[in-house]
């Protein structure tokens, strides 16, 4: 049995332009557009079939529009907007759409029968959507015994990591914990869309690490942390075992 195949055994896919059903051929064929006229939101075409050369008309009419009231929520503010949808358009929860140059995510769909997860636009009577392209992250800033609530406006996709330093204006804060609704986390990275509240603390000041006793000051000077020291002694945690520090002077052999 011959396993070789000739290229002629396979028909190449034909690309037809303006392929529609020809009433004469009773098949989908390519057509030439002889004339077109815009009618409202639709279009009237005069076509010639490329197979039988028959001329016929084609009317294209989009489905009627359905005006649906949407409650759009952007952080603490909400407003009503009427959006035109194709009557046969299918909508589901978490669908994202654009309106007023902003992205919105559908969170609630209502029909005459009640709340539903998905519905055709013709049966939709009301919808609720939240802004998707920007997120409002609630934060609590703690300085000493005083805590102040605030809000951060961040772009979609922004992530925060517990324990890292965060610059807000001219102030520096450390992310102490992140609350996601399921509990607080002191470690790890969380997407801004999942954060319920972030807790920020003032980072420790450098004065906290300054030496206080004479012994600590002598050690700090030896390590070069209190001014110029031409030959500082490295702390033990920076010196590997069985490796001599390179800054120590080598003893000259006796003659």
Q: Kindly state the average pLDDT of the residues 198-204.
A: 86
Place 10 in a pLDDT band, splitting at 50, 70 and 90. Answer: very low
Q: Are residues 69 and 106 in the same domain?
A: yes
Q: Does 35 fall in a domain?
A: yes
Q: Which range has the worst mean pLDDT, 84-93, 135-144, 215-224?
A: 215-224
Q: Does 228 fall in a domain?
A: yes
Q: Does 190 fall in a domain?
A: yes
Residue 203: name the closest of 159, 144, 140, 137 by CA: 144
Mean of the per-residue pLDDT values of the chain = 81
Q: What local confidence, expressed as pLDDT, does residue 219 receive?
A: 77
Specify the pairing of strand 189-191 against strand 159-161.
Answer: antiparallel
Q: Round to whole Å and give the CA distance between 212 and 234.
A: 20
Q: Could you say which of 182, 201, 220 is where a domain stops?
A: 201
Q: Could you say which of 116, 131, 146 is where a domain stops?
A: 131
Asked if pLDDT for residue 226 goes beyond 70, the answer is: no
Count of structural domains within the chain = 4
CATH number, position 41? 2.20.25
Asked if pLDDT for residue 12 goes beyond 90, the answer is: no
Place 170 in a pLDDT band, splitting at 50, 70 and 90. Answer: confident
* Structural contact between residues 51 and 58, judged by C-beta atoms closer than 8 angstroms: no
Better pLDDT: 245 or 173:
173
The CA R_g of the chain, rounded to the nearest whole Å, is 36
Q: Does 220 fall in a domain?
A: yes
Q: Are residues 82 and 109 in the same domain?
A: yes
Q: Are residues 186 and 218 in the same domain?
A: no
Q: Are residues 35 and 82 in the same domain?
A: no
Q: Are residues 97 and 142 in the same domain?
A: no
Q: Are residues 82 and 115 in the same domain?
A: yes
Q: What local confidence, expressed as pLDDT, does residue 6 receive?
A: 53
Q: Does 45 fall in a domain?
A: yes
Q: Enumerate residues 6+ apart whose C-beta is below 8 A from 186.
A: 162, 163, 176, 177
Q: What local confidence, expressed as pLDDT, does residue 69 receive?
A: 94
Q: Does 255 fall in a domain?
A: no
Instruction: Give tens-digit pLDDT for 146-168.
Output: 899 999 988 888 999 998 888 88
Q: Are residues 72 and 121 in the same domain?
A: yes
Phi and psi of 199, rounded to 5°? -110, 120
Q: Are residues 34 and 47 in the same domain?
A: yes
- Helix/strand/coil (H, E, C) string of 58-80? EEECCCCEEEEEEEEEECCEEEE
Residue 125: name the closest of 111, 108, 113, 115 by CA: 111
CA atoms within 13 A on the CB side of 194: 13
Q: Are residues 112 and 56 in the same domain?
A: no
Q: Are residues 184 and 167 in the same domain?
A: yes
> What's CA 89's distance to the chain center, in Å?
25
What is 211-243 written as a DSSP string?
--SHHHHHHHHHTT-SS--SSPPPPGGGS-TT-
Q: Does 5 fall in a domain?
A: no
Beta strands (DSSP E) in 95-209 are: 96-99, 102-111, 114-116, 118-120, 126-131, 134-143, 146-155, 159-161, 165-168, 171-179, 184-185, 189-191, 197-201
| Residue located via tokens 């009773």 | 26
Place 115 in a pLDDT band, splitting at 50, 70 and 90. Answer: very high
Q: Are residues 94 and 119 in the same domain?
A: yes
Q: What local confidence, expressed as pLDDT, does residue 235 receive?
A: 56
Q: Round to whole Å and give the CA distance between 86 and 120.
A: 9
> What's CA 169's distance to the chain center, in Å?
24
Q: Is the pTM of this model over 0.95?
A: no
Per the structure, the complete domain to which residue 194 belongs is given by 134-201
Structure tokens at 62: 């989009």
Q: Round to whole Å and give the CA distance between 219 and 213.
A: 10
Q: Are residues 82 and 116 in the same domain?
A: yes
Q: Does 90 fall in a domain?
A: yes
């Amino acid at each position: 049995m011959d396993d070789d195949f000739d290229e002629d055994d396979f028909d190449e896919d034909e690309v037809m332009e303006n392929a529609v059903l020809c009433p004469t051929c009773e098949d989908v064929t390519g057509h030439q557009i002889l004339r077109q006229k815009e009618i409202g939101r639709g279009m009237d075409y005069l076509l010639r079939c490329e197979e039988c050369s028959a001329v016929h008309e084609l009317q294209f009419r989009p489905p009627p529009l359905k005006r649906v009231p949407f409650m759009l929520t952007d952080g603490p503010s909400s407003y009503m907007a009427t959006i035109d949808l194709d009557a046969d358009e299918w909508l589901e929860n978490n669908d994202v759409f654009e309106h007023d140059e902003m992205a919105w995510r559908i969170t609630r769909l209502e029909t005459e029968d009640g709340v539903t997860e998905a519905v055709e636009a013709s049966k939709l009577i009301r919808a609720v959507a939240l802004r998707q392209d920007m997120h409002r992250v609630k934060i609590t800033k703690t300085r000493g015994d005083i805590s102040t609530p605030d809000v951060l406006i961040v772009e979609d996709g922004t992530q925060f990591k517990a324990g890292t330093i965060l610059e807000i204006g001219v102030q520096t804060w450390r992310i102490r914990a992140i609350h996601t609704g399921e509990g607080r986390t002191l470690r790890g990275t969380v997407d801004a869309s999942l954060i319920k509240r972030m807790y920020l603390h003032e980072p420790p000041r450098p004065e906290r690490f300054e030496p206080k006793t004479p012994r600590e000051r002598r050690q700090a000077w030896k390590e070069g942390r209190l001014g110029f020291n031409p030959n500082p002694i490295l702390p033990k945690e920076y010196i590997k075992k069985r490796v001599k520090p390179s800054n120590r002077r080598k003893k000259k052999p006796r003659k």
